[in-house]
Amino acid sequence: MARMVAKVFAAASMFGAALLIAVSAAGEPAGATSRAISGRNGSSDRSAVTVGFLNEQEGAVAFPTFGAGAQAARIYLDHHGGIHGRPLRFLDCYTDGSTAGAVACANRFVAAHVPVVLEGISIGSDAAVPILAGAGIPLVGHTAFGNVQSNSSDAFFFGAATGAYDVVPLEVMRRDLHISSVTYMAATNPQDRGFVEDDSMPASRALGIRYKAIYYNGTSPNFQSTVGAAIATGAKALFFTAPDPTCTSLVAAARTLSYKGAIFAGSCSAFIKADGSSADGVFTASDLYVPGDMKGYPMRAKEQLSVYEKAMDHYAPQYTDGFAQDTFSSTMDLATALSKIRGRIDARTVLDALRRIDGQQSFMGQSLDCDGKQWPGERAACASGLIEYQVHGGRRVLYTKGFVNGEKLVK
């Protein structure tokens, strides 16, 4: 979880995320702002399906890109029939990332009797899970941002388990590139060491890859020295999963030191724009089909990417290449689950519908199965696959033929 949190925090500064969509209202609990989206005519729509939307759009670091993707999907859905002809509405609750803000939002959602809460990102949101679960309200999203929600039986996340990002690239290295040795670079913190010990090392042993981990100081790193030490191991591939700015620095250092092996840069993409020539040949992963070069994509993915890009062009084009894709996808996935409910849409029927997801196709993504068995230690994950891309000419180009699943390597 910590790796994904670090990644989005870094991305926020790069995309100017301090721009806030919500403004705190007088008398609101500290760290939380709430408002309901009204109907197109400006009045409340009693026929609407209103769900809670939890997002971190306040404070020193905010993430409006997550909100933009969800709102763009909501508007698209409303223009295409909604949920059985009923418009989809959000009861927005915006936090500053604090635990207090998440708790205030959870209590507000419970008081409003929402049938489900959709999470964009809220770093303190683990504190909201027991409150929501106590009221029988499920939490859904694309990525879990805490260990409590990641293992909750009342939470469902439609993106790949976070552990997949440390395992799937190793499988691609061995299966497709026949790489026999890899050096993994990570920050010196308990979370990153946990990913190494719990995911990467077991997977490398199962694959027969010689694996070495080298750690750098996360607060004052010397990337040239770190990459130099990694190259000195003689590894055929360098591998890291880190925030975008760190990825950019590690790729630059590897190129400066003339490393000739394969480079796997987690799920990063900012390094491509930072230096297109250095980025060429680098591998990067995603749990969605990404905009850009769509050669080899299935027709379904091409059509859905077209929907996404057009919707974002109308709503917030500046966020199209960011994390808005994740929340657009999860909003559409939630709508698919809601559309399968016949009769009353409430917390009980939504929870039952989510637990029954088996083979549902994620929007721009993979097949979902919410049985709690997709990844060890992440029971809320509904998927485990990643696509590996390789950069060519400044664009991510499909490298694997669809999604690669690595959960068996760590079971």
345 in any annotated domain:
yes
- Cα distance between residue 343 and residue 262, in whole Å: 53
Q: pLDDT value at position 243?
A: 86
61 or 51, which is more confident: 51
Residue 329 has pLDDT above 70, yes or no: yes
Question: How much is the CA Rg of the chain, to the nearest whole Å?
Answer: 21
* Number of independent structural domains in the chain: 2
* Residues 335-358 pLDDT 10s: 999 999 999 999 999 999 999 999
Percent of the chain exceeding pLDDT 90 equals 76
| 218 plus 308 within the same structural domain | no
182 in any annotated domain:
yes
3-class SS at 314? helix
| 379 plus 393 within the same structural domain | no
Count of CB atoms situated within 10 Å of the CB of 283? 23
Average pLDDT over residues 230-242: 96
Residue 8 has pLDDT above 90, yes or no: no
| 216 plus 173 within the same structural domain | yes
| 340 plus 251 within the same structural domain | no
| Mean pLDDT rounded to a whole number for the chain | 89
Give the residue among 7, 54, 63, 10 at the shortest CA–CA distance from 35.
54
299 in any annotated domain:
no
* Residues 15-54 pLDDT 10s: 333 333 332 332 334 456 655 443 343 335 669 999 999 9
Q: pLDDT value at position 345?
A: 97
Which domain, by its residues, includes 39? 2-161+304-383
149 in any annotated domain:
yes
What are the residues whose beta carbons fall under 8 Å from the beta carbon of 103, sequence distance 6 or more?
A: 127, 128, 131
Q: pLDDT value at position 410?
A: 82
| 11 plus 24 within the same structural domain | yes
Q: pLDDT value at position 192?
A: 84
Pairing mode of beta strands 262-264, 237-239: parallel
Q: pLDDT value at position 33?
A: 62
Cα 353 to chain centroid distance, Å, stands at 22
| 116 plus 194 within the same structural domain | no
| 247 plus 183 within the same structural domain | yes
Residue 9 has pLDDT above 90, yes or no: no
298 in any annotated domain:
no
Q: pLDDT value at position 129?
A: 97
Contacts 24+ apart (CB under 8 A), 125-132: 125/54, 125/95, 125/149, 126/102, 127/99, 127/102, 127/103, 128/54, 128/102, 128/103, 129/154, 129/155, 131/103, 131/106, 131/107, 132/106
| 112 φ, ψ (degrees, to nearest 5) | -85, -5
* Residues 156-200 pLDDT 10s: 999 999 999 999 999 999 999 999 999 999 999 887 888 888 889
Q: pLDDT value at position 26?
A: 29
| 396 φ, ψ (degrees, to nearest 5) | -80, 125
DSSP state letters, 210-224: EEEEEEE-SSS--HH
Q: pLDDT value at position 200?
A: 92
| 94 plus 187 within the same structural domain | no
Label residue 409 by pLDDT band (50, 70, 90).
Answer: confident
Positive or negative: CA dihedral 65, 66, 71, 74: positive
375 in any annotated domain:
yes
Q: pLDDT value at position 24?
A: 31
* Residues 242-274 pLDDT 10s: 888 999 999 999 999 999 999 999 999 999 999
CATH number at residue 6: 3.40.50.2300
Q: pLDDT value at position 34?
A: 56
The predicted model scores a pTM of: 0.88
247 vs 41, 47, 82, 397, CA distance in Å? 46, 47, 40, 18
Q: pLDDT value at position 120?
A: 95
| 58 plus 98 within the same structural domain | yes
296 in any annotated domain:
no
| 18 plus 78 within the same structural domain | yes
* Residues 117-133 pLDDT 10s: 999 999 899 999 999 99
| 240 plus 221 within the same structural domain | yes
Q: pLDDT value at position 198?
A: 86
Q: pLDDT value at position 218?
A: 86
Q: pLDDT value at position 195?
A: 82
CB 12 within 8 A of CB 68: no
| 284 plus 191 within the same structural domain | yes
**Angle subtended at Cα 71 by Cα 321 and Cα 285, rounded to the nearest 5 degrees:** 30
183 in any annotated domain:
yes
* Residues 67-105 pLDDT 10s: 999 999 999 999 999 999 999 999 999 998 899 999 999
326 or 45, which is more confident: 326
- Cα distance between residue 51 and residue 174, in whole Å: 44
